[in-house]
Amino acid sequence: MSRFAFGSYNRLKSVVPGWRYVFPISGVADRIPEKIAHLVYLDSVLAESGRSAFSYYPPAEVEARIKAAEKETNGLAVPVPQQLPAVWGLGKEGDPDYDWVRRRLTPHPLQSYTTALTFKAPVGNNLPRTYIHCTQPSHPVLEDSRKLVRSWTGWKWVDLPAPHDSMITHPDAVVGLVLGA
């Protein structure tokens, strides 16, 4: 890549989407806001500074995920669930979307759930930001995050009549929302 192309690329501002677990985009917004034009949180866990993702999960689910990680990976990662949750909206085993996702899932690092990020600025760093709530069905684990977003000013809110894995089941709608941000 030429220096010119790289330098031009570095001056671009990006729309940064995040789904389900979006600490990375909140962290990027906190550290390099000048590179971001808009943040899009797609049916996501949001956490306040100093709190981990598990701070917002039901205690029984936290305990189950930690125990599964300890049993299967010596505490390194939460294993792929035996059955995909219905709230993901992928149907059941044998359905094309379900089977496609199941083949691609990998264990998720446990520390990404248990480690808190510390932000210098409010979540989203006062950048333009949108929260997309997937409503069919509404994911119960994300209710605390949705309450946080509703309590903060400066957020655009979109209800998307799709399940949690909307980027698979409703890709055109998701792309339209991200590109329109």
pLDDT of residue 20: 76
CA contacts within 13 A on the Cβ side of 57: 16
Domain 10-179, CATH among 3.30.70.260, 3.30.1380.20, 3.40.640.10, 3.40.50.1820:
3.40.50.1820
| Greater pLDDT, 164 or 3 | 164
Does residue 5 carry a pLDDT above 60? no
pLDDT of residue 11: 53
Residue ranges of domains in the chain:
10-179
Per-residue pLDDT tens over the stretch 66-111? 999 999 999 999 999 999 999 999 999 999 999 999 999 999 999 9
Position of tokens 């985009």? Answer: 25
Integer angstrom CA distances of residue 84 from 26, 78, 88, 103: 27, 14, 7, 11
3-state secondary structure of 111: helix
Does residue 125 carry a pLDDT above 90? yes
pLDDT of residue 121: 94
Does residue 2 carry a pLDDT above 50? no
Mean pLDDT of the residues in the chain: 90
72: tokens are: 């299967």
pLDDT of residue 18: 83
Specify the amino acid at residue 128: P
| Greater pLDDT, 21 or 121 | 121
Does residue 65 carry a pLDDT above 70? yes
- What pTM does this model have? 0.88
Q: Which strand (E) or helix (H) includes residue 67?
A: helix 59-73
| Greater pLDDT, 16 or 142 | 142
